[in-house]
Amino acid sequence: MGKPTGFLDYERENSQEIAPLERIKNFNEFHIPLSLEKQRLQGARCMACGVPFCQAGMMIAGMASGCPLNNLVPESNDLVYLGNWEEAYKRLTKTHCFPEFTSRVCPALCEAACTCNLNGEPVATKENERAIIENAFATGLVKPCPPQVRTGKKVAVVGSGPSGLATALQLNKRGHKVTVYERNDRVGGLLRYGIPNMKIEKSVIDRRIALMEEEGIEFVTNANIGENVSADELMKNYDAVVLCCGASNPRDIQVPGRDSKGIYFAVDFLKATTKSLLDSDFKDKKFISAKDKHVIIIGGGDTGNDCCGTSIRLGAASVTMLEMMPQPPVERAENNPWPQWPRVLKTDYGHQEAIALYGSDPRIYTTTVKEFIANKKGEVTKAVLVKLESKKDEKTGRMMMVPVEGSEWTVKADLVLIAAGFLGSQKYVTDAFKVDLNPRTNVATKPDEYATSVPKVFTAGDMHRGQSLVVWAIREGREAAKEVDRYLMGYTNL
């Protein structure tokens, strides 16, 4: 460790953010990175702990603690401090396929498990990671590395989200010929259309895809397996098939007035916005307008926050976010000690922008929709909200959030976005391959394995584990690639 007292000598410093009222004028990324010299001091804050929880990636109390990719965090941070950017890049990419993705969209499980959290601010590992990979691109360290030898084996990867890309990258590195099928018109899956441009500009994805193509990976877009491309065709033409289609079934809400016009799933809203932005800078008008509308967002996770930021940029008159659960504490509770994931209040970029623009936090806790009210044209105009309280279900013994009688009130609602999570894989894909599902409609495998019930068909990512983080999808893709390689070759050196 190059600076034993670094965590005492230097305060945590984050990249600058463009002010909320300025950044909402466009859909561009809004973080201004530190200079490399300033970033080095952030690397110096790493303590090189004897037990580095930051890289553990273990489950504690049902939540992930530390990096699921097991990135060698103290080593990378030390190399940042030393200014040895080339070795830092080599060290990081031993365990990580796409640092440019996670350094933008990951909630930084590594930082939540950092020992510095005990008495101060964690090491800025996420921004150190971004500095490493962006410097590597800028200085030409990131180059296409096609395999020297091909195995003669062919693999189809269905889905080009983070798990599909990670699977493809690793299997191609091994020498297998990989073709990635994507049902949308552009590669990237969730990264492309599920995460707004201001969190990850799509040129970042295009840059990586271009490298992967130079390495010999083939991408086929507008290829919807089970519809315009048959599963039988893939089974016949490839030695293995890996399903990485995500958990694409949005969770719906069933209340009176749900069929009113102006109520959409969040994923459809976000996809339409990004596609119109990329296709025509919104000139084609093929997006769901929030202009001058009172927007209700049902769900308070990352997707809900993205809907908030997107609605604001599209000119919403107001944004209200409904969260079923109580407001989390500002600081860790006694029953949520380090190094568990901190269950604390997080005010994300969309919330910040709503506060700056409208003057108050958009979130209303322990609240849901009881009914939607439409006008004569069938368009939603109001929502009846109701407060919730926690009660034990007499039949199951489980604690449930139930409506409080007499607590209803009505608010304006011209546009409603349902961001209540996802239920699992889409039936038409799993039916096409005839794979077994588990009770949560994820594709079933043995514990910690990736082979499905159908020979030579594997799965990874959200389709396998359920809705999760980009970093978990990359981990799943890398692990699935090992299993596929072992199936094809009898052993693996991935």
Tokens found for residue 408:
């209803």
Q: Does domain 263-418 have CATH number 3.30.70.260?
A: no
**How far is 129 from 109, CA to CA, in rounded Å?**
13
Provide the residue type at 157 as one letter.
V
Model confidence at 269: pLDDT above 90: yes
> What are the domain boundaries of the chain?
6-138, 154-248+423-489, 263-418
Q: Considering the chain, what is the average pLDDT of its residues? A: 96
Please check the confidence at residue 341 and state whether its pLDDT lies above 80: yes
DSSP structure class, residue 253: -
* Domain range 154-248+423-489, its CATH number among 3.40.50.720, 3.30.420.40, 3.20.20.20, 3.50.50.60: 3.50.50.60
Rounded Cα distance, 65 and 440, in Å: 24
- Measure Cα distances from 73 to 49, 66, 351 in Å: 10, 10, 30
CB 351 within 8 A of CB 362: yes
Q: CA 245 to CA 429: how far, in whole Å?
A: 8
Q: Which fold has domain 6-138?
A: Fumarate Reductase Iron-sulfur Protein; Chain B, domain 2 (1.10.1060)
What is the full DSSP assignment across 335-385?
TS-TTSPP------HHHHHHHHHHSS--EE-SEEEEEEEE-TTSBEEEEEE
Distance of CA 285 to the CA centre of its chain: 27
pLDDT tens-digit series, residues 354-380? 999 999 999 999 999 999 999 999 999
Closest CA to 135 of 243, 15, 39, 20: 39
Tens of pLDDT, residue by residue over 378-425, are 999 999 999 999 998 888 888 899 999 999 999 999 999 999 999 889
Q: Which two tokens stand for residue 480?
A: 């699935």
Question: Euclidean distance between the first and final Cα of the chain, in Å?
Answer: 29
Among all chains, which residue has been given the structure tokens 């407001």? 327
Q: Is the pLDDT of residue 2 over 90?
A: no
Share of the chain above pLDDT 70, in %: 100
Residue 132 has what DSSP assignment?
H
Do 154-248+423-489 and 263-418 come out as alike in CATH topology?
yes
pTM of the entire structure?
0.96
Contact 361, 351 (CB under 8 A): yes
pLDDT > 90: what percent of the chain?
A: 94
Residues 6+ apart with CB under 8 A from 476: 163, 166, 450, 460, 461, 464, 465
Exposed (0-12), middle (13-18) or buried (19+): which is 305, by Cβ within 10 Å?
Answer: buried
Q: What are phi and psi of 478, to 5 degrees?
A: -65, -40
Name the strand (E) or helix (H) holding 86.
helix 85-92
